[in-house]
Amino acid sequence: MPTHDPRIDVYIIKSADFAIPILEHLRALVHAACPEVEETLKWSFPHFMYKGEILCSMASFKYHCAFGFWKASLMKDAKLLLDNRKEAMGSLGKITSIKDLPSNKKLMAWVKEAMKLTDASAKLVKTKPAAPQKLEIPRFFSAALAKNKTAKAAFERLSYSHKKEYAVWLADAKTVPTREKRLNTALEWIVAGKSRHWKYVK
């Protein structure tokens, strides 16, 4: 019988309705592929451990879910997995339904591959910092920051990835009301020194 962490049961139940079947499906597949897996919560979202190391993890957000392998960069499909990271946290991009997932066979094969990397004591290689990237910030966001010196100073102190999270979130707003609501929220959080996903950071 698979060992389930009751905290993850609660995490799934509290997720959005669309996310519950996705999380349950991913959880079941990981257990099926790796009977020895252990569950835990790290950084406030579910992680699956194998022999004391992180094997993979999953998370739910307001409109999508994410699933990722800790050693994705060492896997055979590394390019595919890492390319998806451009869209969202994790290895599979934004997941809004079970239909967005690869086949069960593919997912289980990836889990088994990740297990082999742990068995072989494969280590993630630290790469040299990349050259500074140019961040594209929506004009309305730049204008708002220019008018709010406190927010602008706080925004400049954020890491590149956190700045990008805010920029992408605001740029994705489809309507003016949504844009204004997100902008006001973003400015409030930035002044408070919070990242875009601060609610999910332990």
Cα radius of gyration (the chain): 19
The verdict on residue 148 lying in a domain is: yes
What CATH number is given to the structural domain containing 35?
3.90.1150.200
Residue 147 and residue 101 in one domain: no
The verdict on residue 18 lying in a domain is: yes
The verdict on residue 131 lying in a domain is: no
For 112-127, write each residue's pLDDT tens digit: 999 999 998 866 555 5
What average pLDDT score do residues 192-202 get?
79
Residue 33 and residue 102 in one domain: yes
Residue 147 and residue 99 in one domain: no
Count of Cβ atoms closer than 10 Å to residue 36 Cβ: 12
Residue 66 and residue 150 in one domain: no
Q: Determine the structural domain holding residue 58 and report its residue range.
A: 6-119
The pLDDT-based confidence of 136 (bands split at 50, 70, 90) is confident
Number of domains in the chain: 2
For 92-105, write each residue's pLDDT tens digit: 888 999 999 999 99
Bridge-partner residues for 53, per DSSP? Answer: 50
Q: Please state whether the predicted TM-score (pTM) of the whole model is above 0.85.
A: no
Please report which residue ranges of the chain form alpha helices under DSSP H: 6-13, 19-33, 78-84, 104-119, 139-147, 149-157, 160-171, 176-191
Residue 21 and residue 106 in one domain: yes
Residue 104 and residue 186 in one domain: no
